[in-house]
């Protein structure tokens, strides 16, 4: 008799696992749809500071780390400044190292795309954390998903897309 219940119990367990993952998958799909041009079409990129400020800083880090040097001092910007002390360089931020490594493996010409993926994944992480916070506060799954959607696709993240550090900080 217990062997007859096992498939039914497994179906319930797998269905509840899917039901638990469905809001997170929806949040991920929303972010991919919202940023689809930036992520998947080469003609589009996040402009201004991401291209003109963050990408050159990251390129300096990739070059230095690629030659096995820790980039402590940047002699090229403002007649030199302490690179490691600038929080916007993200030198000591572990997720940024994934973008640095991607640029080293695929080439510096793909660095901007790696930074854009880093930014979009942080927007998603912000949505996920908001969802879990709302669930912890006793909000139902549908309302928590809606609240997370509003946070991740709302005014702050969309208006700060060019500011990598602001997006990364807001996600946590």
Q: With contact defined as beta carbons under 8 Å apart, do 89 and 138 qualify?
A: no
Q: How confident is the model at residue 14 (pLDDT cuts 50, 70, 90)?
A: low
Q: Which of 25, 42, 38, 51 is nearest to 124 (CA)?
A: 25
**123 or 11, greater pLDDT:** 123
Helix (H) or strand (E) holding 164: helix 164-171
Is the predicted pLDDT of residue 10 greater than 70, yes or no? no
Is the predicted pLDDT of residue 7 greater than 90, yes or no? no
Q: With contact defined as beta carbons under 8 Å apart, do 95 and 168 qualify?
A: yes
**pLDDT at site 13:** 52
Is the predicted pLDDT of residue 15 greater than 60, yes or no? no
The single-letter DSSP state of residue 111 is H
Share of the chain above pLDDT 70, in %: 91
**What's the rounded mean pLDDT across residues 43-52?**
91
**pLDDT at site 8:** 44
Q: Which pair of structure tokens corresponds to residue 93?
A: 């931020």
Helix 111-136 with 94-106: angle, nearest 10 deg: 150
Model confidence over 53-89: pLDDT tens digits?
999 999 999 999 999 999 999 898 888 999 999 999 9
Convert 45-63 into a string of H (helix), E (strand) and C (coil): CCCCHHHHHHHHHHHHHHH
Q: With contact defined as beta carbons under 8 Å apart, do 90 and 164 qualify?
A: yes
Model confidence over 129-147: pLDDT tens digits?
999 999 999 999 999 999 9
What is the spatial distance between Cα 85 and Cα 82, in angstroms, rounded to a whole number? 5
What is the spatial distance between Cα 12 and Cα 17, in angstroms, rounded to a whole number? 8
Q: How confident is the model at residue 5 (pLDDT cuts 50, 70, 90)?
A: low
What is the spatial distance between Cα 150 and Cα 98, in angstroms, rounded to a whole number? 27
Helix (H) or strand (E) holding 74: strand 73-74
């Amino acid at each position: 008799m217990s062997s007859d219940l096992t498939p039914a119990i497994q179906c319930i367990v797998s269905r509840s696992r899917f039901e638990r993952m469905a809001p997170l998958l929806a949040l991920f799909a929303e972010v991919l749809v919202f940023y689809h041009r930036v992520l998947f079409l080469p003609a589009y990129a996040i402009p201004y500071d991401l291209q003109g400020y963050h990408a050159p800083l990251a390129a300096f880090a990739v070059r230095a780390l690629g030659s096995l040097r820790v980039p402590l001092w940047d002699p090229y910007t403002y007649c030199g400044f302490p690179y490691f002390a600038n929080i916007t360089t993200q030198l000591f931020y572990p997720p940024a190292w994934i973008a640095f490594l991607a640029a080293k493996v695929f080439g510096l010409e793909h660095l901007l795309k790696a930074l854009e993926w880093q930014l979009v994944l942080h927007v998603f992480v912000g949505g996920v954390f908001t969802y879990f916070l709302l669930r912890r506060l006793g909000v139902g799954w549908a309302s928590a998903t809606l609240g997370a959607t509003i946070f991740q696709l709302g005014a702050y993240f969309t208006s700060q897309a060019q500011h990598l550090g602001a997006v990364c900080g807001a996600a946590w």
